[in-house]
A and B are shown apart, each in its own frame.
Chain A
């Protein structure tokens, strides 16, 4: 009996450790104070930025450009934590359920489904964009909605990119320019093309591009429609894909790996400039060239936000404001590090700054801006993403 009592006590002590609240959280009224005050009080603090870490160029931009600049200008120490965005949302949900009012994340890089989930479950700090001075430069159209979900000032547009296919011109002599030609090419060159499975952000987007190419406008507007033609197209190319379509790369990183190894001739992704850095570092083939399909290219905006339980919201706001400055955006646009499309409305900048953006050289793997004319498509309804995830496994992969 005594033994049982002791073990109960031991268990109790263990479980008690789980529920103890941390130190008192920052007051919520940070958003009510002026930016000057926030800026001053953020000095000497540490900001933890949680972001997807699968791209060396992006990581280098944060570590080698942004972090030193924040240190110099605001004496803020920026720590980058590489993590899948969906995992961040899971973590925040768990913390919300457990009533943990002081978390560990200050800044998150977010968009699409993850933003939708965060907004729905009230996981974000509040109307942060209203206090940031540099929001005056940000493109209003890009800022207003995130993959069909209204942003309502909860997040700030950080970059804007176009979906682009890349191919190795050493192997592909006459590249396809629309989906129909792509289908013929895939059939003539079995095993040389594939796309990531639809649980992946980029793979899901490939299916949406097929939708734009083969479905009628009425079908596209109705998420409940049966996208028969899309599934038919994907099934038609399936036997000619890499590994005969029996398996697909699980992530874009895996597809990039296949492309880098020469196992396939195509890769794809949001961001028309994303191949520049990879070609320069020798990862991608030298003759990597872009294709913007005639059927359209979906524009995507990605954002920065602050979680509801950020331990250092002031530091987070200063960090985001810095990332939205024309200088930081110019550095991001330059392919030295990242080569990411700017979220700023260039007409709000001074002419010297506009010229700097125009002067950034584009490599041969980047399409000329004129190529996108008439091809830019807006994002489909968020429920389409979910429908694709639900239907694709049984209607295509099976």
Chain B
């Protein structure tokens, strides 16, 4: 485990986010937020983006965890590294190339299946490699202890594996959710004209025409950053007691 000084990196990241947030807030007025939150085009975009982000994240987590369990001690793990080297833009072009003639799941369908499939292709390996170190360190003796104590299979799984996996899974899930709900390349190439995903809609608002809609794009980034921050606080707040217990060596 790396034990270097994390302050410079943390400061830099926090500085960038806070500066960006400050610029966005200073470019907007309360009226912009009102306009944004009553704008049907935005609300529909928010709904469909949430749908795409949540579905992609959950499926990526489930498959990623299962693969990590099955493949953690095999050489096949290296194969999963391949999609990591393909940029999201490249993955979107692959989807255009191979999915264009497939009905229902092809690009430019209102159900956004091709977008979600492309995210899965990219994010399952991410989840896999994020969880691999944790899965490899799972101690099978907890499992044996559970059997000895006569726990039910569900409780055995929870105490031997679940508690150790929960926090990293939530972390990976949060990263994916935050990324997918606002990313640009994949929905820009594979999405439909209406409703657009948030990243594409924000970019349009920011660059279009006489630039009079720019405040709305800034308001959107403030609203989303705020929402994701709340989620993060909620998540760490709920899992902290558990994390503390684990580090003390108890899970009850």
B212 within 8 A of A: yes
Task: Give the A-B pair count, Cβ closer than 8 A.
Answer: 65
Query: Known contacts A246-B192, A394-B40, A397-B193: does B212 contact A386 (CB below 8 Å)?
Result: yes
B214 to chain A, nearest CB (A): 10
B193 and A248: CB pair below 8 A? yes
Minimal beta-carbon separation of A393 from chain B (angstroms): 5
Tell me, yes or no, whether A4 is within 8 Å of chain B by CB. yes
B40: chain A residues within 8 A (beta carbon): 394
- Chain A residues within 8 Å of B204, by CB: 199
User: Which of the four size classes fits the interface of chain A?
Assistant: 20 to 34
Known contacts A248-B193, A393-B41, A386 near B12 by CB under 8 Å: no
The answer for the CA separation of A251 and B210 in the assembled complex, in Å, is 19
A48 to chain B, nearest CB (A): 22
Is A11 within 8 A of B8, CB to CB? yes
By the criterion CB–CB under 8 Å, are A386 and B209 in contact? Answer: yes
Do A11 and B207 touch across chains, with their CB atoms under 8 A apart? no
Report if A247 contacts B (CB, 8 A). Answer: yes
* B149 at the A interface (CB under 8 A): no
B168 interface contact, C-beta 8 A:
no
A398→B194 contact, CB < 8 A: yes
Please name the residue on chain B nearest to A5 by beta carbon: B7
User: Is A86 interfacial (CB 8 A cutoff)?
Assistant: yes
CB distance A3 to B209 under 8 Å? no
What are the residues of chain A within 8 A of B44 when measuring CB–CB? Answer: 398
- Whether B192 lies near A86 (C-beta < 8 A) is no
B83 CB–A CB distance under 8 Å: no
Give chain A interface residues in 71-91, CB to chain B under 8 Å.
86-87, 90
Least Cβ distance of A58 to chain B in Å?
Answer: 22
Interface residues of A in 182-234 (CB under 8 A from B): 197, 199
Question: Is B88 in contact with chain A by the CB < 8 A criterion?
Answer: no
Is residue A116 within 8 Å, beta carbon to beta carbon, of the partner chain? yes
* Beta-carbon contacts under 8 Å, B18-54 to A: 40-41, 44
A90 to B44, CA, bound (A): 27
Q: State how many angstroms separate the Cβ of A395 from the closest Cβ of chain B.
A: 11
Give min CB distance, B208 to chain A, whole Å.
6
The answer to whether B108 touches A11 (Cβ under 8 A) is no
A113 CB–B CB distance under 8 Å: yes
> Which residues from chain A contact B194 at a C-beta distance below 8 Å?
247, 393, 397-398
Q: Assess whether A247 is in contact with B209, with CB atoms less than 8 Å apart.
A: no
Question: Do B11 and A7 touch across chains, with their CB atoms under 8 A apart?
Answer: yes
Residue from the set B8, B15, B110 with the largest chain A CB neighbour count within 10 Å: B8
Q: How far is the CB of A390 from chain B (nearest CB, A)?
A: 8
Is B5 in contact with chain A by the CB < 8 A criterion?
yes
Q: How long is the Cα–Cα vector from A120 to B193 in the complex, in angstroms?
A: 30
Q: Is the interface of B mostly helix, strand, loop or mixed?
A: loop
User: Does A14 lie within 8 Å of B12, measured CB to CB?
Assistant: yes
Residue B198 is within 8 A (CB to CB) of chain A in the complex: no
Measured CB to CB, the closest approach of chain A to B152, in angstroms, equals 48
Contact residues in A for B109 (Cβ distance below 8 Å): 246
* Contact yes or no, A10 B8, CB < 8 A: yes
> Does A389 sit within 8 A of B, measured CB to CB?
yes
CA distance A386 to B205 in the complex (A): 11
Complex CA gap A325/B251 in Å reads 82
A7 CB contact (under 8 Å) in B5, B110, B211:
B5
Q: Using Cβ atoms and an 8 Å threshold, which residues of chain B touch A398?
A: 41, 44, 194-195
Is B188 among interface residues, defined by CB-CB distance under 8 A? yes
CB under 8 Å from chain A, chain B span 66-120: 108-110
A354-390 CB mask vs B (1 if < 8 Å, else 0) is: 0000000000000000000000000000110110011
Q: Separation in Å of the B221 CB from the closest CB of chain A? A: 16
B5→A247 contact, CB < 8 A: no
Chain A residues numbered 259-317 whose CB sits less than 8 Å from any CB in chain B: none
Considering the complex, give the chain A residue whose CB is closest to the CB of B10: A7
With an 8 A cutoff between CB atoms, is A243 at the interface? Answer: yes
Q: Tell me which residues from 129 to 154 in chain B have a Cβ below 8 Å from any Cβ of chain A.
A: none
Q: Evaluate contact between B8 and A7: CB separation under 8 angstroms.
A: yes
Decide if A117 is an interface residue (CB 8 Å cutoff).
yes
Q: Which of A1-45 contact B (CB under 8 A)?
A: 3-4, 6-8, 10-11, 14-15
* B208 interface neighbour in A116, A199, A397, Cβ under 8 Å: A199
The residues of A that contact B41 with a CB separation of less than 8 Å are 393-394, 398
Are B193 and A386 touching (Cβ within 8 A)?
Answer: no
Given A247-B108, A394-B41, A398-B194, CB of A385 within 8 Å of CB of B209: yes
Smallest beta-carbon distance B149→chain A, Å = 44
What are 30 A-B contacts with C-beta separation under 8 Å?
A: A3-B7, A6-B8, A7-B7, A7-B8, A10-B8, A14-B12, A15-B15, A86-B207, A87-B207, A90-B207, A116-B210, A117-B211, A120-B210, A246-B192, A246-B193, A247-B108, A247-B110, A247-B194, A250-B188, A250-B193, A382-B210, A383-B210, A385-B209, A386-B209, A386-B210, A389-B209, A390-B213, A393-B194, A397-B194, A398-B195
Ranked nearest first, the 8 interchain pairs of A and B with the lowest CB-CB distance are: A397-B194, A247-B192, A7-B8, A7-B7, A247-B108, A248-B193, A386-B209, A247-B193
Chain A contacts to B: CB under 8 angstroms: 3-4, 6-8, 10-11, 14-15, 86-87, 90, 113, 116-117, 120, 197, 199, 243, 246-248, 250, 382-383, 385-386, 389-390, 393-394, 397-398
Given contacts A11-B11, A117-B211, A386-B210, 11 further A-B contacts (CB under 8 A): A7-B7, A14-B12, A86-B207, A113-B210, A116-B210, A197-B193, A246-B108, A390-B213, A393-B41, A393-B193, A394-B40
